[in-house]
Amino acid sequence: MAKIDLIVRRAKLDGKEVDIFVSKGKIVEVKKSAETIDAGDAKVEEAFGLTVMASMTDVHVHLREPGFEYKEDVESGLRAAAWGGFSNILCMANTKPVNDDDSVTKLMLEQARKFWPKGPRLFPIGALTKGLKGEELAPMAELAEAGCAAFSNDGVPVKSTELFRRAMEYASDWDKVVIDHCEDPYMGVAAGVNEGVVSSRLGLPAQPDMAEALQVARDVLLAEYLELPIHLAHISCRKSLDLIRFAKERGVKVTAETAPHYLVLTEDYLENEATEYDTNAKVNPPLRTLDDQNAMLEGLNDGTIDCLATDHAPHAAHEKETEFDVAPCGITGLDTALSVTWQLVKDGKLKKEAFTRAWTTAPCEIFKLPVNTFQPGDPADFFLFDEAEEWTVEPQALHSKGKNTPLLGTTLKGRVKTHFIQGKKIV
Q: Partners of 258 in the beta sheet?
A: 308
Q: What percent of the chain has pLDDT over 70?
A: 100
Contact by Cβ (8 Å): 243, 265: no
What is the C-alpha separation between 314 and 270, in angstroms, rounded?
A: 20
pLDDT digits (tens, 9 = 90+) for 241-297: 999 999 999 999 999 999 999 999 999 999 999 999 999 999 999 999 999 999 999
- What's the chain's average pLDDT? 97
Q: Give the chain's length.
A: 427
- Does the pLDDT value for residue 1 go beyond 70? no
Give the Cα separation of 237 and 219 in Å (integer). Answer: 16
Whether the predicted model's global pTM rises above the 0.85 cut: yes
**Closest to 265 measured CA to CA, from 194, 174, 328:** 194
Specify the pLDDT at position 101.
98
* 343 pLDDT more than 90: yes
What whole-number distance in Å separates Cα of residue 31 and Cα of residue 39? 14
Compute, in degrees rounded to 10, the torsion defined by CA atoms 334, 337, 338, 344: 180
The number of beta carbons lying within 10 Å of the beta carbon of residue 46 is 12
In tens, the pLDDT along 108-136 reads: 999 999 999 999 999 999 999 999 999 99
For the four alpha carbons of 76, 80, 83 and 87, in that order, the dihedral sign comes to negative
Tens-digit pLDDT profile for residues 219-239: 999 999 999 999 999 999 999
Residue type, 33: S
Q: What is the pLDDT of residues 26-77, one digit of tens each?
A: 999 999 999 999 999 999 999 999 999 999 999 999 999 999 999 999 999 9
Q: What is the pLDDT of residues 314-337, one digit of tens each?
A: 999 999 999 999 999 999 999 999
Distances (CA, A) of 277 to 203, 204, 293, 317, 336: 10, 9, 20, 15, 22
Per-residue buried b or exposed e for 291-325, using 16+ beta carbons within 10 Å of the residue's own CB: ebbebbbebbbeebbbbbbbbbbbbbeebbeeebe
Asked whether 233 and 128 are in contact (CB, 8 A), the reply is: no
Please name the helix (run of DSSP H) or strand (run of DSSP E) that holds residue 61, with its range, or none: strand 56-61
CA atoms of 118 and 423, how far apart (whole Å)? 9
Residues with catalytic function? 311
pLDDT tier for residue 2 given thresholds of 50, 70 and 90: confident
Q: Could you read off the pLDDT of 346-389 as tens digits, one per residue?
A: 999 999 999 999 999 999 999 999 999 999 999 999 999 999 99
CA angle 212, 295, 327 (to 5 degrees): 45
Tell me the pLDDT tens digit for each residue of 298-309.
Answer: 999 999 999 999
